Amino acid sequence: MSAEGGSASGGKIGIFDSGLGGLIILKEIIKKLPQYDYIYLGDNARTPYGNRSREVIYNFTEQAVDFLFKQDCQLIIIACNTASAEALFKIQNEWLPKNYPDRRVLGVIRPVVEKAIISGKKKVGIIGTKGTVNSHVYIEEIQNKKPQLEVLQQACPLLVPLVEEGWQKTDVTKRVLRTYLKPLKSAKVDTLILGCTHYPILFKEIQGIMGKRTKVLHSGEIVADSLADYLGRHPEIESKLDKNSQNIFYVTDLSSHYQKLGEEWFGKGIKFEKIDLK
């Protein structure tokens, strides 16, 4: 099937991210639900989204989901926290009913919030990009469900570039992490949300700094469990999905650096196809 095409052959699950970090989430999803066909789209030519305005993030996200629906996706998971925070509500409530009323777009924030309100006793911490933190979406969702929880957040803009450089085990990254996490650790948060695609790569380091008293939530596993649960509750969507265990990976830029990241985060031999979203 060509990238421009869009035959009506069947239904895939689309996974969208601002770049390649969503591969970390997709890997967990495939581990849990290997039978389905997935189409990954990473807008790595325009990543990072984390410092961009809401308007730009919305426009990029709309282009991405439109592309994935044209590739026969029935259901799209926006794996990017920034796009989930800044664009998902409008996509679900305004764009989707007008354009693809029988298809679905889900984000990563709600399933993580549901876990956080179960795990959270007194204080929940959130780390994410500036976009995610400034949107206040996590705080609002948590406090709507469990107002007695105190919620603290910290933007960590240096973590994505450090992880993309493969520097997760270096002293520089540990120092940066300690600086970002200090206010959350001092406040004794009992639960910490990793509100960004890239942060599960730093899971051990983050858990090590926060200590055993803080439950660090692994967003990839949570999103995979929540998708399995969603498909169980929505047979009208599930029955439309192809089950050939075939995966396609689209990116908006391709270089040896991106190939290397894809192999590290998803697996050897990953084959990317370059497309244009504009």
Residues that bind ligand DGL (CB under 6 A): 17-19, 21, 47-50, 80-82, 129, 132, 160, 196-198
List phi, psi (to 5°) of 246: -110, 135
Annotation marks residue 196 as catalytic: yes
CB 110 within 8 A of CB 124: no
**Cβ 239 to ligand DGL shortest distance, Å:** 31
User: Which residue among 76, 137, 196, 251 is the active-site one?
Assistant: 196
User: Which residue among 30, 77, 80, 177 is the active-site one?
Assistant: 80
CB closer to ligand DGL, 132 vs 252: 132
**Cβ 75 to ligand DGL shortest distance, Å:** 19
**Gap between the Cα atoms of 59 and 160, Å rounded:** 22
CB closer to ligand DGL, 197 vs 214: 197
CB closer to ligand DGL, 50 vs 262: 50
Residue 242 is encoded by which pair of tokens? 């192809």
CB closer to ligand DGL, 48 vs 262: 48
Edge-to-edge strand list for the sheet holding 150-155:
150-155, 123-128, 191-195, 215-217
**Gap between the Cα atoms of 39 and 60, Å rounded:** 17
Residue 153 is encoded by which pair of tokens? 């957040």
**Cβ 246 to ligand DGL shortest distance, Å:** 24
Residue 120 is encoded by which pair of tokens? 């959270």
Question: Three-state SS for 12?
Answer: strand
**Cβ 143 to ligand DGL shortest distance, Å:** 21
Partners of residue 241 on adjacent β-strands: 11
Q: Which residue is nearest to ligand DGL (CB)?
A: 50
Q: Please list the active-site residues.
A: 80, 196
